[in-house]
Structure 1
Amino acid sequence: MAVTNAGNPLKDVITSDFKLDARYLQFRDLVGVVDKLVKSKVETFPKELKERRDIIYTELEKIQEENLHRKEITKEAIGLAEDCRKMAKLVKNVFLWCEVEGNTLMQKNNSLIKDLLVVEDKIAANQIAQNPEDKAKVMRELEMKKSGLRGRLIEKKSKDAEKSKDHRNTENNNSKHQKLNGLSKEEVTQLEDWTQMRIGQVVFDGEHENWSTGTSVFDAKIYHKRNLVFVIEDANGNKFGGFVKSEIDTIGGGIVDTGSFLFSLASNGRFDCMQKFPISQEGASRAFWVWPANNWCLLQFGFCGDDISIAKKSEVLGSSCTQSAYIYPEPLSLCGNSNFDTTNITVYQMM
């Protein structure tokens, strides 16, 4: 039977059907591939989740173990802190007891030494009265005994806060220490002429730096330095001192110095001009002494500190000078007396 539909011939229908079948087959194959892919992914999800869960549990166990360890350490630390608190309280009580007991012993010690100093003075006076020609020898021996006794005096140490304050003051005034305070132009010229050197920096300035017993920085400031001029001022307006050419290489021992000399810059009319006092040949063997912070004495010139003996700031015993190792034109050349109160000391380094 012949088909006469001109708009849709059989050939076209058959061709169209074949095309539809081909698209179906392509679609079916694509669906199969997608289905397999989805199924494979769905099957792997439980495995990945399980592995992730196991990792999380492992991490949680580690954290719990570390937290338990932390609690144990914290507990031990609390116990140690309590023990430390008790120990600190005990140590504080020990320090308080030592301070009270130390003050008592200090007072007894110093009282006995001061009594002994008075006795030694009386014994020396009696010896001089019996043998006036031995006065110089007796006085030298007396000064040696008194120097040793003074070194056994016990001084109460300053508090840490005062030390810290002194340190801050030292730092704040560093720039001032570089200035040549306290010397006139004429005095500078004279010192430079005597030493044949130029005056340099201020090594120690008693107005701003500590020279009290127990906390003095004086010995540390001049240690291992040479060519030093020591200018001393007393309560009566005298200005005198000494020059040390040798290196300050020992604390508490005599320093050999053939180039040392003493001088007077201001004498209250005893001299018409500034004076220089050279050291004797035998005196050069122990020309200068500097003492540590805990000693009552700051510095000394002469055999055993006979010529100049400077006490540390606010010391009850005071300073003294008895001419011995240096050569003077007349008695009491330095300050017009054998005892004086030091108001300030400045140390300059010559260059």
Structure 2
Amino acid sequence: MGTTTSAPQEFPDKRKTIKMIKQLEEWTEKRVGNILFDSNVHNWNRFTSVFDLKLLYKKHIIIIVEDTQGNIFGEYVNSKIDKVDAWINDPHAFVFSLESKGRLKKMMKFDIKEPKYGFFMESSSYGPLFDIGFGRDIGVYKQNYSTKSFCLQFSFEYDGISNALCGKRIFKTKQVIVIEMK
């Protein structure tokens, strides 16, 4: 009798991650570049967050949010983020769902319908980290307020799909990663 070996436990996750990266590259028509921010590494607490410092003057970024329920969603910001505490106009922004825990049959993107509310980056002194869409389609709060994060569907084209991003209105943020696309 021979011995059987099984693939490492993390292999399916790596395969899923590769599929997600390929999908993001297809949607943006750009390649994944540098990681600008990772909440598991960088400070994202109120008053001391470095999120705004890491993103200021950057463009072509992907913001990926994972909640404690395993949903993975976010936004592509095409325009340069050249201000804090003000809306960034971005006609090419879109939000997306990469993992919906079965609510959606595939990864999906949703185009912006209100470009003047593309992205809002808060300064380190306020509770929110960032807002996406005027109706706050995604609102992520800093680490010490992470249970207040929420999803409302307003500023993007959801094609009649309910709870497309995080599955419910209020969520707890597990991780935020920001990637610069090249």
When the two structures are superposed, what TM-score results if normalisation uses the length of structure 2? 0.89
Question: Which of 84, 89, 106 is the equivalent residue of 1:251?
Answer: 84
Q: Which residue of 1 aligns with 2:143?
A: 313
Q: Does 1:324 align with 2:154?
A: yes
Name the aligned partner's letter for residue 196 of structure 1: E
Q: Quick check: which has more Rg, 1 or 2? A: 1
Q: Is the 8 A contact 2:31 2:181 kept in 1?
A: yes
Partner Cα distance (1:273, 1:308) in 2: 20
**C-alpha distance in structure 2 between counterparts of 1:217 and 1:339, whole Å:** 24
In structure 1, the partner of 2:134 is: 303
Contact 2:146 2:173 in 1 (8 A): no
Partners of 1:212 and 1:316 lie apart in 2 by: 9
Q: Which residue of 1 aligns with 2:49?
A: 216
1:166-245 matches, cutoff 5 A: 184-245=17-78
In 1, Cα distance between equivalents of 2:143 and 2:134:
23
Is 2:147–2:171's contact at 8 Å kept on the other side of the alignment?
no
The Cα of 1:325 is off from its aligned counterpart by 0.4
Partner SS for 2:110:
strand
Instruction: Tell me how far apart the structure 2 counterparts of residues 240 and 303 of structure 1 sit (CA, whole Å).
Output: 18
Cα RMSD after superposing both structures:
1.3
- CA deviations over 1:9-52 (Å, ceiling 9, x no partner): xxxxxxxxxxxxxxxxxxxxxxxxxxxxxxxxxxxxxxxxxxxx
Once the two structures are TM-superposed, the CA of residue 220 in structure 1 deviates from its matched residue by 0.3
1:338 partnered with 2:169 = yes
Aligned residue for 1:314, secondary structure, equals: helix
Distance 1:262 1:186, change over 3 A: same
Q: Which structure dedicates a bigger proportion of its chain to strand? A: 2
- Alignment partners' CA distance in 1, 2:144 and 2:66: 14
1:266 is matched with which residue? Answer: 99
2:144 equivalent to 1:294: no
The amino acid across from 1:231 in the alignment is I
The one-letter amino acid of 1:322's match is L
Structure 1 unmatched runs, 5+ = 1-180
Aligned-pair CA distance for 1:314: 2.2
User: Taking structure 1 as reference, are residues 244 and 316 closer, same or farther at Cα in structure 2, changes over 3 Å only?
Assistant: closer
1:349 aligned to 2:143? no
User: Which amino acid is the alignment partner of residue 342 of structure 1?
Assistant: T
2: CA distance, partners of 1:243 / 1:317: 23
Q: Distance in 1 between matches of 2:116 and 2:48?
A: 30
In structure 1, distance between residues paired with 2:57 and 2:154: 26
Separation in structure 2 between the aligned mates of residue 331 and residue 187 of structure 1, nearest angstrom: 22
Q: Percent identity?
A: 35
| Shift, 1:331, TM fit | 1.3
**Displacement over 3 Å in runs of 4+:** none
Structure 2, unaligned stretches of length 5 or more? 1-13
Q: Which has the higher contact order (CA 8 A, sep 6+)?
A: 2
Give the corresponding residue for 2:10. none
As a proportion of its length, which structure holds more helix?
A: 1
2: CA distance, partners of 1:316 / 1:342: 5
Listed as ranges, the matches of 1:24-43 within 5 Å are: none
After superposition, the Cα gap between the structure-2 partners of 1:236 and 1:316, relative to the gap in structure 1 and judged at 3 Å, is closer
Given that 2:139 and 2:150 are in contact with CA atoms closer than 8 Å, whether structure 1 keeps it comes out as yes
1:309 CA displacement = 0.4
Equivalenced residue count is: 167
Note the 1:24-173 alignment, pairs <5 A.
none
Q: Report the CA distance between 1:287 and its aligned residue.
A: 1.0
Q: How many Å separate the matches in 1 of 2:147 and 2:28?
A: 32
